[in-house]
Amino acid sequence: MTLTMVASVHYTTSLNLILVAVRLFLGLMIFAHGYRKFFGGGKIDGTARWFDSIGMRPGKLNAYMAASTEVGVGVLLVLGLLTPLAAAGLISVMTVAILTVHIHNGFFIFNKGEGIEYCLGVIVMCLVPGTFGGGRYSLDALWHVMNWSSRDNFLLAVVVGFGGALLQLATFYRPARKS
């Protein structure tokens, strides 16, 4: 059997366990980010002010969109439901983060202002469930949802992920002009 065949439930046990581990890490990590935007620190109002400050306007709308996407994508990844679409959502969030905040700070996360290293690593990790789906231990497999080839999953995750980011940036990104 090849990895490009339909029905990810036929993958090896080790690949299925890796998919669970990656989904759980990514899902819980991004869920925590979204939860914090809703309930921690400055909550939505503080997040909205920050979004306004980086040029994502209107800040409040973008704060709600980011928090909702992060919570929703987190739940979907943990459950392994609509997994390639969930991966696309996280690819989109990280791409927007790179292009609005981190790209000006270089590669390394420890650079002043934080570089792109972390967000880029998350994007690369998203390609695993984005390409191979949720695996045997997922609601996708249980309910026979998104049981596509790895090539189709990959294309969906990449096109929707980067396309969604570019659409959001084109619609909402209005950074202050530097003198």
Residues 134-170 have pLDDT tens digits of: 999 999 999 999 889 999 999 999 999 999 999 999 9
Cα four-point dihedral sign 86, 34, 109, 24: negative
**Three-state SS at 178:** coil
**What amino acid occupies position 40?**
G
In sequence order, the 6+-apart residues with CB closer than 8 A to the CB of 104 are 113
Q: What is the pLDDT of residues 23-60, one digit of tens each?
A: 999 999 999 999 999 999 899 999 999 999 999 999 99
Report DSSP state, residue 6: S
Q: Give, in order, the Cα–Cα distances in Å from 120 to each of 99, 106, 116, 147, 174.
A: 11, 12, 6, 27, 23
The domain spans of the chain are 12-172
Write down the pTM of the prediction.
0.92
Kindly state the average pLDDT of the residues 60-74: 98
